[in-house]
Amino acid sequence: MAMRKTAAMAVAALTLLAVWGGAGSATAAAPATTHKAAEACGVLAPGASAAAEKAVAAACEQIGVWYTWGGGHGPQPGPTYGQVDPSDPDSAHDPERLGFDCSGLVRYAYARAVGGDPLSGNAYHQFHSPQVNQRFTAAQGTGPLLPGDLLAWGSGGSIHHIAIYLGAGKMVEARESGTRITVSDVRLGGDYAGAVRIAAAAPAPGTFSTWGTDVWTHKEPSTTSPRVHRFPGPTMVRVECQKHAEPVTAEGYTNDAWSYLPEYGAWITNIYLKGPAWLDGVRTCP
């Protein structure tokens, strides 16, 4: 979700729009920026993994590209035209702007860094991704953070914004409609929720991809139980266990297997997990 800010904080110095090298291209052309802006975005502290440093570099290449609500969530990582956010009048022109929202930028940066599409989904999904191998609380501040770590904002279990740490108290972010991707000071006040570090290694055992669009998880292994979270598109998830429960028919398939996703505290029918009807290597829930 876009974060509000005053017109005085708009990034007026970044005046040129990035040129995207065509749909499905593996990389986005870096926008023309001032020498000062180019120097400001990069790895500003030692200690990060090679993958994290590559993610920082990929995000910094997008300095000056438009924030656009929903941008970066196409079939493949990369900038897309956005949508109108009903809660934000500043998003009226987002359908005309090629760019990223906050999680679209994170998705693109880590896809460039490690290949594949390891951080699809929105900011909430990225903060709770099975690719996370270390977490930091808001109270820890930036002290233990390394370049490439993901900072998040939200409360009550909801994450509405995410950015990439650069080091030295700086981050690169796609912040809100009407602005462009920029370097900002880390904001530790308000509803800052903490940070996560992304693993450079392959996904852990028990990690699967969802498929389809607008797929809901449920509180219990039943379609009649309350909905918990929606996956707008394919998303990597970790399955703790699976069990036979309510049969579900969808997309021409019928299956009674459901999987428990511990990061979401919810169940998903195996119909919407890529793999066999009963997942290989996943234990049966008690």
Catalytic residues: 102, 161, 173
Q: For every residue of the chain, which 3-state class applies, written as one string?
A: CCCCCCHHHCCCCCCCCCCCCCCCCCCCCCCCCCHHHHHHCCCCCCCCCHHHHHHHHHHHCCCCCEECCCCCCCCCCCCEECCCCCCCHHHHHHHHCEEECHHHHHHHHHHHHHCCCCCCCCHHHHHCCCCEEEEECHHHCCCCCCCCCEEEEEECCEEEEEEEEEECCEEEECCCCCCECEEEECCCCCCEEEEEEECCCCCCCCEEEECCCCEEEECCCCCCCCEEEEECCCCEEECCEEEEEEEEEECCEEEEEEEEECCCCEEEEHHHECCCCCCCCCCECC
How do beta strands 132-136 and 207-209 pair?
Answer: unpaired
> What is the C-alpha to C-alpha distance for residues 148 and 261, in angstroms, rounded to an integer?
26
Which token pair is 60?
């910094």
Rg (CA), the chain: 19
